[in-house]
Chains A and B, each alone.
Chain A
């Protein structure tokens, strides 16, 4: 049963990801990205990391993809032109090399002793454990991440600002 679930969710991650990379309509690409991220959240559930699954859906499939859709609407992106055949071939070769490299690497380590089996019944990757860990051992990175978000917010405002000239009317920078 679990095996079938894994296979279904793995397809749900991989196939829409391929469509993101190849679809020429940006809106379709963003929609496929939602499916891919929901599949990834399902894999987190299979790994019994429930909090991260929820965060994945909230932050990635919710916030980030909606941001992408807003920007697509704003700059009204049209159908992209078809990539050149040479670019397509070269990218496919790179994809093949990377995938076979990954599969070969995993197979090789399987032959040399293999990986650890799952050993415990979910050692509490619960929200409680997250909170304790975040506010004791990782408190400094936590603070830095907060400042990082603030800096990103200010940076975005500065990047997107239109400058005002002396009379107070808007003037786009040239």
Chain B
């Protein structure tokens, strides 16, 4: 057995599923944000694997890794803004549990 593209795709898919599982399961806003990061990382792995396995000598397929570079930059922005929102939330409501943030309910 040699490691092919399918194995990388399965790892990426499992990582994505685990991220979605965490988002559904947890009620702590911080952990939900961490699981979102896991999902982003899974998509990155898929992109890199596809671009590496489909590259030929004529077409190096650099678009995949470059796209991953942008995803990493945007993920950093997302985490910064998300954590700022969580800190503001904590300051006003003294909680980060998503179940207790129901001011708009009913």
Contacts and interface: CB of A to CB of B under 8 A. Distances in A.
B35 A20 contact: yes
Interface string B69-84: 1101111111111011
A155 B38 contact: no
B3 to A, nearest CB: 5
Interface string A1-43: 0110010001001100110111000100110010011001001
A63 B17 CA distance: 24
Given A123-B55, A145-B70, A64 B11 contact: no
Contacts of A80: 26-28, 31, 97
Contacts of B30: 26, 68, 71-72, 75, 77
B13 A125 contact: no
Contacts of A109: 6
Given A98-B16, A98-B20, A116 B54 contact: yes
Contact of B65 (A2, A64, A125, A148): A125
Interface residues of B, number: 74
A94 B21 contact: yes
A120 interface: yes
A61 B30 CA distance: 16
A153 B80 contact: yes
Interface of A is mostly: helix
A115 B72 contact: no
A91 B31 contact: no
Interface in B18-56: 18-22, 24-28, 30-31, 33-35, 37-38, 41, 44-45, 48-49, 52-56
Interface of A: 2-3, 6, 10, 13-14, 17-18, 20-22, 26, 29-30, 33, 36-37, 40, 43-44, 46-49, 51-52, 55-56, 59-60, 63-64, 67-68, 71-72, 74-75, 77, 80, 83, 87-88, 90-92, 94-95, 98-99, 102-103, 105-107, 109-110, 114-120, 123-125, 129-130, 133-134, 138, 141, 145, 148-149, 151-153, 155-156, 159-160, 172-174
Interface of B: 1-11, 13-22, 24-28, 30-31, 33-35, 37-38, 41, 44-45, 48-49, 52-57, 60-63, 65-66, 68-70, 72-81, 83-88, 90-92, 96-97
7 contacts: A21-B31, A44-B45, A59-B76, A98-B16, A133-B62, A134-B66, A173-B92
